[in-house]
Amino acid sequence: MLTCSHLSRRFEDASGEIWPVQDVSLTVKDGTFLSVVGRSGSGKSTLLKMLGGLLMPTEGEVRIGEASLYEMTEDERSDYRCKTIGFVFQDFFLEELYTVYQNLEIVMMIAKVSDAERKGKIEQALEQVGMLHKKDTKVKVLSGGEKQRVCIARAIVNEPQILFADEPCGNLDYENGQAIMRLLREQCEQGKTVILITHNREDAMATDRIVTLQDGRIESDEDQRHS
Ligand SMILES: Nc1ncnc2c1ncn2[C@@H]1O[C@H](COP(=O)(O)OP(=O)(O)O)[C@@H](O)[C@H]1O
Ligand SMILES: [Mg+2]
């Protein structure tokens, strides 16, 4: 179970302070495919970063099961994050000059997975996204769709409980976007919670639950499985 209660975040800039996320409370059951939608600037990415342990809330808390993410020290939290949470971003953030295999190896080294265990897990993750045949290829020569599949493999290689994806299909054409949506759905079917930010109505409709943000607040929260 992922829960957040009364989550808010303030930023200050030259023109004053803004609160891109205000008093957001959510409970997400394990194995749910949840999408977050809303206009640009409505606070989606800020919310996702707080839920994923990447950004300290100004107010409120985030819990994954028993663990309270922001009651941990920063070291504890980054340790917890790399074992429990996977991230997929629109802009990939892959090491372009490294091979596909090496990109996955990096996150396993960060999670302190032993040499002996790495190879099997990396190959298994690449197999799941259909990229095992490109494991020794440098990322820079891959297409966008292939890069995003590598990102998903990297996000799942440490077998996290929760996957966060911030507009993963935003830079892809329709076919490749659909392939990414299928992979995310498969992760859910294996019991992971998947939280997806999307601008695409059709992609949101394919998820179990749609949370709509407006000006940093939850405007609606629709359970798709009952409608
Ligand atoms: N680090 C930051 N400093 C100042 N303002 C920020 C920062 N991050 C986001 N914002 C502002 O918060 C608002 C919401 O941003 P964001 O969460 O990225 O929205 P969305 O993902 O829905 O487009 C925007 O007005 C954005 O400019
Ligand atoms: Mg965003």
Q: Which ligand is nearest to the CA of 214?
A: 1
Pick from 158, 147, 149: nearest CA to 105: 158
Q: Which ligand is nearest to the CA of 15?
A: 1
Q: Which CATH architecture has domain 2-217?
A: 3-Layer(aba) Sandwich (3.40)
Q: Which atom of ligand 1 is nearest to the CA of 216?
A: 14
Residue 173: pLDDT band (50, 70, 90) is very high
Residue 227: pLDDT band (50, 70, 90) is low
Q: Is the per-residue pLDDT at 217 higher than 80?
A: yes
Instruction: Supply the pTM of this predicted model.
Output: 0.94
Cβ-proximal residues to 191 (8 Å cutoff; 6+ apart), any chain: 30, 31
* Cα of 13 from ligand 1 centre, angstroms: 11
Token pair belonging to 146: 């292939």
Residue 225: pLDDT band (50, 70, 90) is confident
Q: Which residue has the CA at smallest separation from atom 24 of ligand 1?
A: 41
Q: Which atom of ligand 1 is nearest to the CA of 13?
A: 4
Name the residue ranges covered by the structural domains of the chain.
2-217
